[in-house]
Amino acid sequence: MLTLFHPTTGAVRVKGVSRSTNAILHPWIKEQVSQVLATLPEPVVLPVEQNCTRWEQWREGLTVKFTLISDLPPLRMLLIWDNLAGHWSADLLVWLMRQGVMVLFTPIAGSWLNLCESIQRILVRRAVSGQCFDSPEAVMASLEAVAKGWNTDPTPFEWGGRRKARREQAKARHRLGGSGGFTRRPVRRRWNGSYDCTQDK
């Protein structure tokens, strides 16, 4: 399932595919990015040095950087991608930069940082749960239909929020065995490595 996700609005773009080779992924990415850019307001043209600074600020702290083209257009969009070999295609990166798109890669083994993974789990669960499909095409159609339904009333995503607050509260509590009771700090366990069974008599 090829997926582009805009966390701020919750809108998702999905295409069911039987394979995700570069020959399939790259044309789809170009088509979808072009459609997104067409909906954005015209970019503000900045002086060359200021424009380059705006691009470079998104590369601060990165250990691996690809070379930016010399004639950078106004920055219009950020595209966060998993660190896959096909995403490092020089031709695709150059095309994206020429459209004003800055690509940021999640760390290796850090795909969980990409919110696109979160929306994919939700859509896949809704599309296949309780279903019985007789062909890959039926699975693809179900995925695309669920995404279309999602977009009628999308839910914005954000890092943190109330769910993070609940997790932090849970970390601050320490459950007592299997009961519903908890403490605000861990119960200190006193154990010297031996046990005298005569104490129970």
The half-sphere exposure of 87 on its side-chain side, counting CA atoms within 13 A, is 14
Q: Please state, in angstroms and rounded to a whole number, the distance separating the CA atoms of residues 146 and 125.
A: 10
Give the contacts of 102 (CB within 8 A, at least 6 positions apart): 55, 58, 75, 77, 78, 79, 96
Q: Please state, in angstroms and rounded to a whole number, the distance separating the CA atoms of residues 43 and 31.
A: 20
39 vs 188 pLDDT, higher one: 39
Q: How confident is the model at residue 75 (pLDDT cuts 50, 70, 90)?
A: very high
Q: How confident is the model at residue 56 (pLDDT cuts 50, 70, 90)?
A: very high
Radius of gyration from C-alpha coordinates of the chain: 24
64 vs 167 pLDDT, higher one: 64
Quote the distance between the C-alpha of residue 163 and its chain's center: 17
* Helices 90-98 and 22-38, axial angle in degrees (round to 10): 10
In the chain the domains, ranked by start, together with CATH numbers, are: 2-152 (3.30.420)
Rounded to two decimals, the pTM is 0.75
Paired residues of 13 in beta bridges: 4
Rounded to the nearest integer, the mean pLDDT of the chain is 84
